[in-house]
């Protein structure tokens, strides 16, 4: 069955070359930009506390003596609290966005996320660290809808030949938001405005995005009122295996699928390593290298600038190798995933043994560790769409939701092991644990991952595939005769 589906997809890719619209910019690109900005804002809100908490607990951070500061000894727990909520709704989010469409779920999720972000300064003053944790849990719950929704929308909007490029562009929003948020939070925290303004600013930008999304975001090409007929049929013929009909969720097929478990395990390793770096780099730079909040935030952003650049560069390379059939889709995913996780594993092992006072070398290794990790954007991160375009949102909910349990555990492990933040030997243990997690996840992914559409993705792929191309062929004939294609489709319905 899988080979039959693969053959059908191969035929669709041949037709796709002839169907690609002449216009270099289309509705699919607007949707990609909207999703890029969504993840940028989401990650800006997610990581601003990593720098903000340094300022919140340092009386010398701001030039304004009236900015409140706190004496908290549970910083790693506060940083972990986002993920308490983040893991809870991901599977439900994937199901809902697949069943009902992602548009309005995303609008509500970003609204709630922004309001919770805006409430952090008040909750900190009123309820101390527990108040901040409550806001972060709410932010985690709302952001639990982000990745399943994005994956579901990419499954509807990204043609197979552009999947790596559009996917990596959209997901590069996460490091881009980190690049902007970390230094901006540091600069604002050091100014007269103080750390509260960084949360207010992110919240306002998030609410502005909601307005933009409500007017410009769409669940799929068939719902877009202004998409050209050429672009719509280019996308839909490429995604010939995709149906807009409501299909029963193949839970048994998913949970007995080794390619799905390969993505889960790959996500496990990524979440542990990436979360360790994301939440703890500012603390490490402050305690070990001695950077103040402004310098800390600028240096903390550098690794994510490298991540962003590498992830954008990897996308076209991946598509080139796969489209030219130099490597299969599955092999391509394994290659880039291995680069993306084994690189950081090696770098963290090296970092743990760099001698004291080698500050520049330590920063360079950190930049490499996070930067090379950008290759996973063409690895496990888009593999859900490869194996099941119809249920990619649900798959993302399952894999991302379950694996982010490790995003909760990783900062708590730091809290337990790093008793003295100025003791480099304690940080060495943290980095070596992350390194081992990266390597083990890569081995499992390489053994069991696949680039083929799985049998459980579509109960009757041949019939739906044929119907898709039959509609397209009718469209082409009628278009030549000057008959409006949209009208034809409406008449068929």
Average pLDDT of the residues in 473-486: 44
Q: Across residues 329-358, what is the average pLDDT?
A: 90
Compute the distance between CA of residue 59 and CA of residue 77 in angstroms, rounded to an integer: 21
Distance of CA 163 to the CA centre of its chain: 15
Average pLDDT over the chain reads 82
pLDDT at 468 over 70: no
* pLDDT tens for each residue of 322-342: 888 899 999 999 999 999 999
Closest CA to 276 of 40, 400, 434, 141: 434
**Average pLDDT over every residue of 35-42:** 96
Give the DSSP letter string of 232-254. HHHHHHHTTT---S-----HHHH
Q: What is the pTM of this model?
A: 0.74
Averaged pLDDT for residues 10-39 = 73
- pLDDT band per the 50, 70, 90 thresholds, residue 132: very high
Going from N- to C-terminal start, the domains of the chain cover: 27-225+246-468
Which residues, in sequence order, are CB contacts of 98 under 8 Å at separation 6+?
152, 249, 390, 391, 393, 394
pLDDT beyond 50 at 471: no
Q: Where in 63-112 does DSSP place strands (E)?
A: none
Give CA–CA dist 276/435, Å, rounded.
11
pLDDT at 20: 64
Instruction: Return the top range by mean pLDDT from 71-80, 258-267, 374-383.
Output: 258-267
pLDDT tens-place string over residues 68-92: 888 887 777 888 889 888 888 888 8
Closest by alpha carbon to 101, among 91, 93, 110? Answer: 93
CA distance 142 to 98: 17
According to DSSP, residue 35 is labeled H
Over 70: is that where the pLDDT of 10 sits?
no
SS3 content of the chain, % helix, strand, coil (to 5): 80, 0, 20
Residue 467 has pLDDT above 80, yes or no: no
Kindly state the percentage of the chain with pLDDT values over 70. Answer: 84
Top mean pLDDT of 125-129, 136-140, 411-415 is at 136-140
pLDDT per residue over 178-221, tens digit each?
A: 889 888 988 888 888 888 999 999 999 999 999 999 999 998 88
- Under the banding of pLDDT at 50, 70 and 90, the label for residue 481 is very low
Percent of the chain with pLDDT over 90: 30
Write the pLDDT tens digit of every residue in 224-243: 888 888 888 888 877 765 55
5-19, 102-116, 154-168, 346-360: which is most confident: 102-116
Q: Looking at 19-28, 187-196, 367-376, which range is the least confident one? A: 19-28
* Average confidence (pLDDT) over 285-310: 76
Residue 38's pLDDT is what?
Answer: 97
The reported pLDDT for the residue numbered 449 is 94
Indicate if the pLDDT at residue 123 is higher than 70.
Answer: yes
Rounded-to-integer distance, Cα 321 and Cα 163, Å: 13
Q: If pLDDT is split at 50, 70 and 90, which confidence band does 293 have?
A: low
Q: Which of 66, 298, 38 is nearest to 184 (CA)?
A: 298
- Range 130-134, long-range pairs (CB < 8 A, 24+ positions): 132/49, 132/78, 132/81, 133/77, 133/78, 133/81, 133/84
The SS3 call for residue 7 is helix
Residue with tokens 């903000």: 52
Least confident of 103-112, 162-171, 277-286, 423-432: 277-286
Tell me the two tokens of residue 51. 């720098």
Residue 477's pLDDT is what? 41
Q: Return the CATH superfamily for domain 27-225+246-468.
A: MFS general substrate transporter like domains (1.20.1250.20)
Highest mean pLDDT among 260-274, 299-313, 446-460: 260-274
Query: Binning pLDDT at 50, 70 and 90, where does residue 489 land?
Result: very low
Burial class (CB in 10 A: 0-12, 13-18, 19+), 464: middle
Q: What's the pLDDT band for 112 if we cut at 50, 70, 90?
A: very high
**Predicted local distance difference test score (pLDDT) of residue 493:** 43
Residue 484 has a pLDDT of 45
């Amino acid at each position: 069955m899988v080979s039959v589906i693969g053959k059908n997809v191969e035929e669709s890719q041949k037709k796709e070359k002839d169907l690609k619209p002449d216009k270099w910019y289309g509705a699919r690109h607007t949707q990609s930009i909207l999703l890029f900005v969504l993840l940028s804002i989401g990650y800006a809100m997610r990581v601003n506390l990593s720098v903000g908490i340094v300022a919140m607990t340092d009386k010398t951070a701001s030039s304004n003596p009236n900015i409140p500061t706190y004496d908290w000894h549970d910083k790693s727990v506060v940083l972990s609290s986002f993920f308490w909520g983040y893991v809870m709704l991901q599977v439900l989010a994937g199901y809902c966005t697949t069943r009902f469409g992602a548009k309005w779920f995303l609008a509500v999720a970003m609204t709630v996320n922004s309001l919770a972000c805006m409430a952090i300064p008040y909750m900190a003053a009123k309820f101390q660290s527990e108040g901040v944790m409550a806001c972060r849990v709410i932010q985690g719950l709302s952001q639990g809808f982000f990745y399943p929704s994005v994956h579901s929308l990419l499954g509807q909007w990204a043609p197979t030949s552009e999947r790596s490029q559009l996917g990596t562009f959209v997901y590069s929003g996460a490091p881009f938001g980190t690049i902007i948020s970390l230094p901006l939070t540091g600069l604002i925290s050091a100014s007269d405005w103080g750390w509260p303004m960084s949360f207010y600013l992110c919240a306002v930008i998030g609410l502005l995005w909601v307005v933009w999304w409500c007017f410009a975001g769409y669940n799929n090409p068939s719902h877009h009122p202004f998409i050209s007929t050429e672009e719509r049929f280019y996308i839909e013929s490429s995604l010939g295996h995709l149906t807009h009909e409501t299909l029963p969720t193949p839970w048994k097929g998913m949970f007995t699928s080794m390619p799905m478990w390969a993505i889960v395990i790959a996500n496990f390793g990524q979440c542990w390593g990436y979360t360790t770096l994301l939440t703890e780099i500012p603390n490490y730079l402050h305690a070990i290298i001695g950077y103040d909040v402004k310098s800390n935030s600028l240096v903390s952003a550098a690794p994510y600038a490298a991540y962003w650049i590498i992830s954008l560069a990897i996308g076209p390379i991946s598509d080139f190798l796969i489209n030219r059939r130099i490597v299969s889709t599955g092999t391509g995913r394994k290659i880039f995933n291995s680069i993306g996780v084994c690189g950081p594993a090696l770098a963290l092992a090296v970092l743990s043994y760099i001698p004291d006072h080698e500050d520049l070398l330590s920063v360079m290794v950190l930049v490499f560790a996070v930067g090379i990790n950008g290759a996973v954007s063409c690895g496990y991160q888009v593999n859900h769409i490869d194996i099941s375009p119809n249920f990619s949102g649900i798959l993302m909910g399952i894999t991302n939701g379950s694996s982010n349990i490790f995003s909760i555990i990783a900062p708590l492990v730091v809290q337990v092991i790093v008793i003295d933040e100025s003791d480099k030997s304690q940080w060495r243990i943290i980095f070596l644990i992350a390194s081992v997690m990266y390597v083990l996840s890569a081995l499992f992914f390489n053994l069991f991952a696949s680039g083929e559409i799985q049998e459980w993705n579509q109960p009757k792929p041949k019939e739906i595939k044929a119907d898709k191309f039959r509609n397209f062929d009718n469209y082409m004939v009628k278009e030549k005769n000057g008959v409006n294609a949209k009208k034809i489709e409406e008449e068929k319905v």
